[in-house]
Every structure is written in structure tokens, then in C-alpha cells.
Homo-oligomer: A and B are copies of this chain.
Amino acid sequence: MSKKKICVVVGSRANYSSIKSAMRAIQQHPALELQLIVAASAVLDRYGSVVNLIEKDGFIPHARVTMLIEGETPSTMAKSTGLGLLELPTLFEQLAPEVVLTVGDRFETMATTLAAAYMNIPVAHTMGGEVSGTIDESIRHAVTKFAHIHFPASEGARERIIKLGERPEHVHMVGCPRIDLVAEILKNPIANIFDRLFDDGVGQRFSIDEPFALISQHPVTTEYGDGEAQITMTLEAVRDQGLAAVVLWPNADAGSDDISRGIRKWRERKLDDRMHFFKNLPIDVYVNLMHSTACLVGNSSSGIREGAYIGTPVVNIGSRQNMRDRGDNVIEVSYDKREISRAIAKQVEHGRYAMNPIYGDGTAGPKIANVLAAERVAVQKCITY
């Protein structure tokens, strides 16, 4: 019997972390064949050549698609989606997948989804039904309206997908595949995390005896132009609380240039030599940092999702994670330096939270593979109301 062909399009480092455990489970499933296309920032040096990591993990890309247009403005994000739509159809015709599995809510996701749906290939979608800020909010729900099989990561998300008019029998609450990775990583904590960190990164060591903040702040596409002020405020708040910090550069959304400029200026002015900046951290290092940080500050979804499972104290700033289901570990604040400072102080005092499995228990990947093997869907969709 021939295997059912499942094509995954990976477009970024975050994408890969969010789907890796499902890819592994598909690869190992006797009734499934994994097909892989690597695209967008995942093929670029500048974002750490995720494609090499993917190959080292034993996955073989059918094609590598450069499709990011320089500029990281709202308009280049639209154009990059266009480029994806030009290239993916030819590749899907080569591969003839029976299902295309797409991840989350980034603009590459939209390209993958449209190409597959227009070509009458059933679309399976992870992480639908969540609520957030930025254009991701619209992309995510639009992808849901094209998708045939849904893999929400939380119970709230499952309910929302059904309210959007999707058939309940095709909505499978499996948890988030990223939690699968987190669970695996935390089984073997990295002992000397800071040694490893300062080997790879740029900057000078700081003492590990003191508490440190983890800062991860991304642009909000609908607040295009404000990024420099936003990141500067965060850096100042952390410094004011006397914390050392590990700071991540932003991802490739529209507006990331603004945040990068803020970080560059901070560094050049040498405003705090206990702050260290990293372009990319391996996921295992990052999870270990989330496990030992005094407080994660910024607007990364990881604080809310992985943070719930790990128990990381989080200060979440602004609208980017608006209304995402969350646990007790998160304090919400607006772009106000004093508010941010106070929240950091409170989290440092509280320390680690108890584990909360609202985003899954570490078994999402195999669940996804099993559903993909069993589920039959009609290509023609119809809203339920």
C-alpha cells in the first residue's frame, strides 16, 4: 500500500520548532510519507541557516525557496507572500502531496495555505483558533477558513475554530508541538548553560550567580514605526531593576528594522555591559534559559505557551499576545516603563510557577500524525451555518 504523502513547508526557525515533533512523528508513521520544503528566513544565513539544522536532524528538503524581499516593511511582507505563491505551485505539482501541513500564522503560512487550497490539496493547520495582536490575528483565522483539518493547541482555540464555522469532527485539540520539544529538552537540562552561551554568542561574560532577565521583543506590524522606542523602554526597565540580561534580536516581520536599530544604538552606547545580545539561540539553549531566568520580558509567544509548561515568570508587554489563552505565570503590562519595572520586580520576587499544561502535555506530534493517517476530508469546504 502506498503511503499518504504529507508535505510540510517550514519558513522560519520558529516554524521549525513548532512543527518538528510532528515532522518526526510523520516520518516514523508507517502509513505516512513526509515531504519537506524549506523557505523564507529558514534558508537564509542571516537568520542562522535553519535549513542546515533541519538536515542535521535527518530531514531532507525537496527544495529551498528564497522568498523574502528585503526591507521588512509591510509592503515587502505582502510581496514575499506573493513570491511564495509563485513558487510553491510548481513544487506542489512535483510532489503531489495528499495533505499540506502548515504552521501557525506567519505570512509564509498564508502563501502555503493559498497555494495548496487553490490547487485542491487538503490543508491541515496547527495552532489555529488562537487570538493575538498584529496581522497574525487575521492571517490565523483566514488560514482556518481555508484549512480542512485543524490542530488547535488549546481548548479555547478548539472552541473558537468551531465558532468560525468549521466542522467539529475535523477539529482535533492535540496541544502545541513546541511543548513536545520543551518536554524533551527539560528531561536533560544543560548544566553549564552560560558557558555554552558565551562560547557561541557575541559579548563578554557576566556572572551567573545573579538573577538575569530574558528579553524577547518582536515588532507589532500594526504599530509599524514604534519599535525603536518600545525596545529601548524595555531595556531601560530591565537595567533599572538591576538585572543582567540575555537579549534576543527580533524576527523578520515588518518593523524588525526599528527594533534592531534600538538594540544597535543601545549596544553602541554601551549602556549596560551586563546585557548580552544574540541573533539566534538554539531551541535547547532557549528553553533552558526560560527555565532559569528570573523573568522573561517582551512580547514573545513563548512566554505564554512554553512559559505555562515551564513555569517561567513572564512580563508581557503590549498588544502582540492580546487575548491568547494564558496561565498565572504572565503579568500583562502596557508600553509604560514604570509599569514594566514594577511587574519585573514582582516576578523576580515570585520565582518559578507550577507547570500548567494548557498548551499541551508533550504528545502533540504523534497525535497529529495519527489524525493525518486516518482522516478523510472533502476538498469542497462549506461553513457550518
Contacts and interface: CB of A to CB of B under 8 A. Distances in A.
Interface string A94-133: 1000000000000100110011011110000000000101
B81 A83 contact: no
Interface string A186-201: 0000000000000000
A282 interface: no
Contact of A383 (B84, B131, B146): B131
Copies in the complex: 4
A340 interface: no
A280 interface: no
A143 B94 CA distance: 29
Interface in A35-78: 41, 43-46, 62-71, 73-78
A257 B44 CA distance: 10
Nearest to A111: B82
Contact of A118 (B78, B87, B268, B322): B78
Contacts of A45: 71, 257
A147 to B, nearest CB: 9
B89 A90 contact: no
Contacts of A383: 131, 137, 141, 160
A176 B304 CA distance: 44
Interface string A216-231: 0000011010000000
Contact of A165 (B141, B202, B222, B257): B141
A66 B74 contact: no
A90 B107 CA distance: 18
A90 B65 contact: yes
Give the size category of A's interface with B: 35 or more
A133 B383 CA distance: 10
Given A69-B66, A70-B68, A319-B380, A81 B118 contact: yes
Contact of A85 (B46, B85, B224, B268): B85
A85 B76 CA distance: 10
A90 to B, nearest CB: 6
Interface in A336-385: 379-383, 385
A32 interface: no
A86 interface: yes
Given A385-B160, A385-B163, A222 B380 contact: yes
A70 B43 CA distance: 10
A93 interface: yes
Contact of A88 (B78, B94, B117): B78
Nearest to A261: B45
A185 interface: no
B160 A63 contact: no
Interface in A269-309: none
Interface string A153-175: 00000001001110000000000
B94 A75 contact: no
A331 interface: no
Contacts of A142: 142-143, 145-146
26 contacts: A44-B71, A45-B71, A64-B93, A65-B90, A66-B69, A74-B120, A75-B93, A78-B85, A78-B89, A78-B118, A79-B86, A81-B82, A81-B85, A82-B86, A90-B91, A110-B114, A117-B135, A120-B221, A120-B222, A133-B382, A142-B145, A144-B145, A145-B145, A163-B163, A222-B379, A323-B382
A86 B86 contact: yes
A87 B85 contact: no
Given A75-B115, A81-B114, A110-B114, 17 more contacts: A41-B70, A45-B257, A46-B257, A62-B94, A66-B71, A68-B70, A74-B118, A76-B89, A78-B114, A82-B86, A83-B86, A138-B146, A141-B145, A160-B165, A163-B163, A164-B164, A222-B379
